[in-house]
Amino acid sequence: GKNIHTNHLSEKLRPKCFGPFKIIDTIRTINFKLKLSNSWKWIYNIFYASQLTPYKANKVYGPNYPKLAPDLSKEQEEFKVKAIVGA
């Protein structure tokens, strides 16, 4: 679903879409009733079709939910910065 307002500090960095959610009912072919988790009780569970996008996971982007970034410090050698140029 789109246009869901959250408490993220930055509007630009917040997730643009949420889900995937299971469709449990179709209402007049343009509205869909979704099965939302208990943590989403504050959101009305019927959405207009244009507010929904199909779930598509792929190899490049992977799943469409936030995931922890890998710890790259173990893969790279540590070094000290001698100077910062142009600061």
- Report yes or no on whether pTM surpasses 0.75: no
- SS3 category, 87: coil
Q: Which domain holds residue 37?
A: 1-65
Output DSSP code: residue 60. Answer: T
pLDDT band at 63 (very low <50, low <70, confident <90, very high): low
What percent of the chain is modeled with pLDDT above 70? 71
Q: Which of 4, 36, 8 is nearest to 21 (CA)?
A: 36
Mean pLDDT of 44-70: 72
Q: Does residue 82 lie within any of the structural domains?
A: no
Q: What is the pLDDT of residues 6-35, one digit of tens each?
A: 777 787 877 777 778 889 999 988 999 999
Share of the chain above pLDDT 90, in %: 10
Q: How far apart are the first and last CA of the chain?
A: 43
Domain assignment of residue 3, yes or no: yes
Q: How many domains does the chain have?
A: 1
Higher local confidence (pLDDT), 67 or 40: 40
Q: For residues 67-78, give the mean pLDDT.
A: 60
In a domain, 80, yes or no: no
- 77, part of any domain: no
